[in-house]
Structure 1
Amino acid sequence: MIDLRTIRTDPDLLRASQKLRGAPVEAVDEVLHADERQREAGRRFDQLRAEQKVLGKRVARAGEPERAELLERSRELAGSVKAAEAELAGADAALRAAQLAVPNLVEPGVPPGGEDDFVVLREVGRRPDLPGALDHVELGRRLQAIDTERGAKVSGARFYFLTGPGALLQLALLRLAIDRAVANGFIPSITPALVRPEAMEGTGFLGAHATEVYRLAADDLYLTGTSEVALAAYHAQEVLDLRDGPLRYAGWSTCFRREAGSHGRDVRGILRVHQFDKVEMFSLVRPEDAADEHLRLLRLQEEMLAAVELPYRVIETAAGDLGSSAARKYDCEAWVPSQQRYREVTSSSNCTTFQARRLGIRFRDTGGRTRHVATLNGTLATTRWLIPLLENHQRPDGSVHVPAALREHLGGSPVLSAGAG
Structure 2
Amino acid sequence: MVIINPSFATQPAAVNRPAGPAPVLAIDRVLTAVVIGQRAEHLYELASGNLKMMAESQTALRHGEKLLLQVTGKDQQQRPQLQILKPDTGLINEQLRSSLPQQQSVNQLIANLGKLINMPQQQQLAALGKEFIEAIASKPQASDPAGLRQAILQSGLFMESQLAKGDAPTRDLKRALLRLNQRLNQQLHNIEQAPKSDNSSKNASLAREYAPQTRIAPLLSEYSAAPSAENYPKNRDHSTNRTELPGQLSPQHRQTPTLSDADSNLEILRQLLRDVRGTLTRQESHQLLHLQQSDKTQYMIELPVRSNDGIDVWQLHFHKFDKTDSEQANPQQQSTKEEPQHNWTISLSFDLPELGPIRARITQNPELKILFNAGNSATTALITSKRHELEQTLAAQGVSTQSIECNNSPITIASSELLSQSLVETQA
Give TM-score, length-normalised by structure 2.
Answer: 0.22
- Higher normalized contact order (CA 8 Å, seq sep 6+, divided by chain length): 1
Give TM-score, length-normalised by structure 1.
Answer: 0.23
Quick check: which one's helix share is greater?
1
